[in-house]
Amino acid sequence: MRLVLVRHGQTSSNISHALDTAMPGADLDEAGTAQAQELADNFEQLVGSKPSAIYVSPLQRTLQTAAPLAQKYGLEPLVREGIREVIAGDIEMSTKSEDIRTYLEAVLAWIDGDLDWQMPGGEDGWQTRARFGAVIAEALGAANEEFGPDATVVLVAHGAIIRVISATLSGDYNRELVARYPMENAATTVLEWKGEAQDWLQDRSLWQGVTWSDRPLDSYELTGGPVVPKESGLRPS
């Protein structure tokens, strides 16, 4: 089983560094629309297989990112609330550096296992994990039943939630990696399931990380030292 996590294409909120997490969210801008098409064009080269199923967050930018991919492969995107972005709560749409730091600190606290940490006016780690965990269990279970163990499931989601999902599923995505090297717009992260059981979230050793933000994991330089988290990145033009 292969799980592909896709971050949405570029939006105006990415350019302005706004914590845009509420519905419906910003549309893709011109660059983001081109990135979504490029993702569809290059998907098999990036991932190594065709998508069996596509699940997508309900925000506009993810729906628009998924559309060219779904059209290319003749798939109907399945919209799931559980993979929407980590909710910013009281700091929604803020561009202040201190608020962005607060947001990222909560995300990294959850990655470190402190699921009691709560976003101001938003969710704690338990709530966030429960909602995306339900989608992953549904998506992988359905794909395994319909397509078998070689299925490729795609989740089109957001930068922060993908950091948490990756680190929750596999020990290959450690704190330093996801903090220092945020996913770029319309990039892919690929994980492969190596187990026989179907309890997808219980054993982090059974998910092997293959890539992060379109690059092999071993291509990232990690020092093991303290790290200041970076906000989700733009794709270089």
The CATH superfamily of 2-219 is: Phosphoglycerate mutase-like (3.40.50.1240)
Say which residues have a Cβ less than 8 Å from residue 199's Cβ, sequence separation at least 6: none
| Per-residue pLDDT at 157 exceeds 90 | yes
Work out the pLDDT band at 8, boundaries 50, 70, 90: very high
Catalytic annotation, residues: 8, 85
| Per-residue pLDDT at 46 exceeds 70 | yes
Domain spans of the chain, in order of start? 2-219
Residue 197, pLDDT score: 66
The 10s digit of each residue's pLDDT in 134-147 is 999 999 999 999 99
Residue 222, pLDDT score: 92
DSSP string, 161-204: HHHHHHHHH-TTS-HHHHHHSPPPTT-EEEEEE--SS--TTT-G
The three-class DSSP label of residue 93 is coil
| Per-residue pLDDT at 35 exceeds 90 | yes
Residue 82, pLDDT score: 99
Mean pLDDT to the nearest integer, 3-15: 98
The 10s digit of each residue's pLDDT in 177-201 is 999 999 999 999 999 999 876 788 8
